[in-house]
Structures are given as structure tokens and as C-alpha cells.
């Protein structure tokens, strides 16, 4: 491998003709999609399942075929690596190949297979980067995110802190794919080992499609705060209780839902806030509701924006409780800090799009990704391509072959430029 010409000999930015093989990339997406494919066209390749294992084997074969060394870390992450020309930290890309119970063939897989396609393109053009180049398949992105968390050192070592949807203990799961739970901490990496991580992913939303834009330059993965709001009124006969004697917990909850919506919508910005779940008691047509439990989910790139929304809401809750003669409590459930993308990676992606003649826009990633955790310890960037209709986590998830190819070309060129940047 060291006999290959280096990029400095070719100069990626001066090689605008260097492109991935789109046909081969999309063929790989199709091939991987056969593993776990359901009758309705959706993919069921749950993390740690036999299908996940078959997927990993196929990806390992492709990695090996392109000359990568492949290793498993103790968290069950599969890491393919091409050596670099110099003794530098790795430049990494990757994503995941596990799916939700009925997912699509692009979510995660595109990032992994585009990484492999980048390696293939380097290989067939006889190019070698200064930095070692890694493609990482993270374990269990769709549920516990144990893979990227372990690599970032943010994973708990307590098995009981994980509640996998299938009920299987996380230590057994990790063991099953060749990891080693007892030495999980060894999966942790640092900026000294990985100088930057860039992930290509489908948007899973409708922003790019609506804006008729080809590439999303991710500003960061938004932070999230989750709460439960407990509203206690008094259950009463819906016939015999006059309107002015009610303590209707649902009337209060309705005001909470609208207050949340207003606080998220009215000030300019990209924050989102959602009341997605509501439990009404006793939930009978002829009884004034006595108790409501509402969920609250708030996300933004800027933690201060989330904090402000929650604080403004708390003031509003006091007023609503007074108006409706109810008692309202707000209880924290979950807190994930935002993970900003490195500014120079964002500007590199923007420059690449200009070079390649692709339209691009800056946008937050409002869904969690492996890049979120990678951004905790190293420079992180993400490239989005459009999702048709904004659909994801569904068999109708679709990104066209051209869009996949465009995303992979942006990834290739971004990695080549970062290879120079970090040298």
C-alpha cells in the first residue's frame, strides 16, 4: 500500500474529476438490503440479530476486498482501516447497518457503504491518504447507541442502565457480535487516535426536499431534554359539576400543549418542542379528567435555547395551574447535550459542494446519530442527502441513486481535503 501514489502527488482539490462509482455504491446498498428484507420491502435487521451478523459479514468482506484491515472493538464496533502515508491519527467515516423493526435501506447503510466506496475509489485510483482512513460500523445505533457511546467514553458500564426494546441484556448482546463487555472501556478513543469523523446520512426529514437542495451541511446534532408534566385536577361527574366548579386536568393540559407549541414556534429559530404522549385519567366521556401526564421533548443546537424554552414554560405552567385550579409539576426525564459540528468541517463541505456544483444549505440534525457521540471527543461533521417525502424508519424511506452518489462524492472530496487540512 505504501507504494501507492499519495494525494499530495495528485492534489484532490485539483482533481475535480475524482468521483466514486455510483453504480457500484447503489449496487452495494441493494445487496445489503437483501439481508433482512421483509415482504413489504422494509428491512428488519435489528442490532445483534442473525441478520445483523450476516450484514456485518458482508460488509467485512467488502472491507477486506478493498484492502482494509478489519477489527472489532470491545463494544462490538467493526472498524475497517487503510493505512496512511504518515503516522497520524485516523480520519474516520462510517455509520451503522442495524435498522428499526421495519426500516429502510438507506438509514445508516449509506454512510457505511459510501465509506467503503471512498476506499474503493482511492484504491482504483491508486491513491493513499496521509492519514490512516477508517470506516466504522457502529453497534446498535437504533437503540442503545452502545457502539458510539463506548468509543466516546460516554457509555455506562452498568448493564441495568440499558433497557433494550427487545429486553435482552446489553452485555450479552455485545458479547454476541464479538465484543467484550468486561473490557468495554477499552473501546474508548481519543482525538489522538481519530482526528476527525465525517458521517454521510439520509436527512430523515423533509427540509432538503422542501428547499429543493441537494446537500445538507449539518451544523451539529441537536441536544434534547425530555420531561414529564404531571397535571392534577379533580375527577368529577361531567353532568353534575358546573363549569365554574371544575378542576379539569385536560383543560389545563390543553393549555400546556398550546403553550409548548407557541414557545417553540413564535421566536425565530429552529428549535422543536413536542408533546407527543398524553395519559388522561380516568379517561371516560362522562367524567371531568382528574389527572393528565404529558410528555415534553425539546431539541435545539443551542442548549441555552432549550433551557430558555423550558424556563419560559415553567413560568407559563404556574399561570395555567392558577387559571385552571390544578396542580402542575414538571419532572426531568432525559438530558442530551447538543453536539456541534466543527466549523472548519462545515466550511470544507460547503466548499466541496460549490466545487461539485451541488446546491447546499446549513441545517441542524434533529435526530441522534453516531456522529453525535463522536463529536464529544473529536472534530465532527455530517453530510445529509434528501429523504423523499421526509420519510424514514419506514419501508417507504427513499433517496435516489443519484442523490446517494452525490452524497458519497461530497464525502470523498471532504475527506481528501481534510486529509490535507490535518497534515
Closest distance of CB 277 from a copy of itself, Å: 5
- Other beta carbons within 10 angstroms of residue 265's beta carbon come to 11
Q: Please, which residue, 53 or 235, has the CB nearer to a copy of itself?
A: 235
By the rule CB under 8 A, 280 interacts with a copy of itself: yes
Sort 90 into a burial class: Cβ within 10 Å, 0-12 / 13-18 / 19+: buried
Alpha-carbon span 362 to 395, nearest angstrom = 27
**Residues of this chain, 48-107, that bind a copy of itself according to CB under 8 A:** none
By the rule CB under 8 A, 274 interacts with a copy of itself: yes
Q: Please, which residue, 155 or 275, has the CB nearer to a copy of itself?
A: 275
By the rule CB under 8 A, 14 interacts with a copy of itself: no
DSSP strand E in 174-303: where?
A: 194-202, 215-221, 223-232, 236-237, 272-274, 278-281, 287-288, 291-300
Q: Which stretch binds a copy of itself (CB under 8 A): 117-125, 134-142, 218-226, 410-418?
A: 218-226
CA torsion 188→191→194→195, rounded to 10°?
Answer: 160
Closest distance of CB 258 from a copy of itself, Å: 5
Binding mask 347-366 for a copy of itself (x = CB under 8 A): -------------------x
Closest distance of CB 272 from a copy of itself, Å: 6
- How many angstroms from the chain centroid is the CA of residue 92? 16
Question: Residues binding a copy of itself: what is the number (CB under 8 A)?
Answer: 58
- Contacting residue, 210, 311, 347, 400, with a copy of itself by CB under 8 A: 210
Alpha-carbon span 46 to 260, nearest angstrom = 34
Q: Please, which residue, 14 or 240, has the CB nearer to a copy of itself?
A: 240
Q: What DSSP line would sit under 300-368, residue for residue?
A: ES-HHHHHHHHHHHHHHHHHHHHHHT-EEEEEEEEEE--EEPPHHHHHHHHHHHHHHT--EEEEEE-S-
Strand partners, 276: none
Alpha-carbon span 410 to 417, nearest angstrom = 11
Binding mask 140-179 for a copy of itself (x = CB under 8 A): ----------------------------------------
**In the complex, which residues of this chain contact a copy of itself (CB under 8 A)?**
203-207, 210, 222, 224, 226, 236-245, 248, 250-251, 253-255, 257-258, 261, 264-265, 270-278, 280, 283-289, 295-297, 299, 333, 366-368, 390, 392-393
Amino acid at each position: 500500500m505504501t507504494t501507492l501514489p499519495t494525494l499530495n502527488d495528485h492534489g484532490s482539490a485539483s482533481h475535480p474529476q475524482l468521483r466514486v462509482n455510483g453504480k457500484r455504491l447503489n449496487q452495494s446498498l441493494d445487496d445489503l438490503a437483501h439481508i433482512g428484507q421483509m415482504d413489504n420491502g422494509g428491512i428488519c435487521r435489528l442490532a445483534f440479530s442473525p441478520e445483523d451478523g450476516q450484514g456485518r459479514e458482508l460488509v467485512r468482506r467488502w472491507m477486506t476486498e478493498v484492502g482494509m484491515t478489519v477489527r472489532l472493538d470491545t463494544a462490538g464496533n467493526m472498524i475497517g482501516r487503510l493505512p496512511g502515508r504518515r503516522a497520524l491519527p485516523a480520519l474516520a467515516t462510517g455509520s451503522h447497518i442495524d435498522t428499526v423493526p421495519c426500516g429502510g435501506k438507506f438509514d445508516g447503510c449509506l454512510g457505511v457503504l459510501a465509506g467503503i466506496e471512498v476506499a474503493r475509489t482511492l484504491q482504483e485510483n491508486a491513491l493513499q491518504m496521509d492519514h490512516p482512513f477508517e470506516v466504522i460500523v457502529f453497534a446498535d445505533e437504533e437503540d442503545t447507541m452502545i457502539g458510539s457511546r463506548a468509543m466516546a467514553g460516554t457509555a455506562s458500564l452498568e448493564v441495568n442502565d440499558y433497557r433494550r426494546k427487545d429486553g435482552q441484556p446489553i452485555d450479552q448482546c455485545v458479547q454476541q457480535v464479538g465484543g467484550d463487555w468486561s473490557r468495554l472501556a477499552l473501546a474508548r478513543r481519543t482525538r489522538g487516535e481519530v482526528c476527525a469523523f465525517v458521517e454521510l446520512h439520509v436527512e430523515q426529514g423533509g427540509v432538503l426536499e422542501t428547499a429543493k437542495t441537494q446537500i445538507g451541511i449539518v451544523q451539529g446534532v441537536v441536544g434534547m431534554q425530555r420531561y414529564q408534566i404531571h397535571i392534577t385536577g379533580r375527577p368529577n361527574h361531567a353532568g353534575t359539576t358546573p363549569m365554574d366548579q371544575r378542576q379539569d386536568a385536560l383543560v389545563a393540559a390543553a393549555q400546556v400543549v398550546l403553550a409548548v407549541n407557541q414557545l417553540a414556534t413564535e421566536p425565530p429559530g429552529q428549535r422543536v418542542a413536542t408533546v407527543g404522549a398524553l395519559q388522561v385519567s380516568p379517561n371516560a366521556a362522562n367524567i371531568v379528567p382528574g389527572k393528565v401526564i404529558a410528555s415534553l421533548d425539546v431539541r435545539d443546537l443551542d442548549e441555552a435555547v432549550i433551557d430558555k424554552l423550558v424556563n419560559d414554560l415553567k413560568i407559563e405552567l404556574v399561570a395555567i395551574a392558577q387559571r385552571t385550579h390544578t396542580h402542575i409539576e414538571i419532572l426531568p426525564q432525559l438530558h442530551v447535550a447538543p453536539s456541534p459540528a466543527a466549523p472548519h468541517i462545515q466550511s470544507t463541505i460547503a466548499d466541496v459542494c460549490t466545487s461539485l456544483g451541488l446546491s447546499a444549505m446549513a441545517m441542524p440534525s434533529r435526530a441522534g446519530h453516531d456522529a453525535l457521540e463522536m463529536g464529544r471527543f473529536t472534530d465532527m461533521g455530517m453530510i445529509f442527502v434528501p429523504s423523499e417525502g421526509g420519510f424514514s424508519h419506514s419501508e417507504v424511506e427513499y433517496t435516489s441513486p443519484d442523490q446517494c452518489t452525490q452524497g458519497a462524492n461530497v464525502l470523498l472530496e471532504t475527506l481528501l481535503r481534510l486529509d490535507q487540512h490535518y497534515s
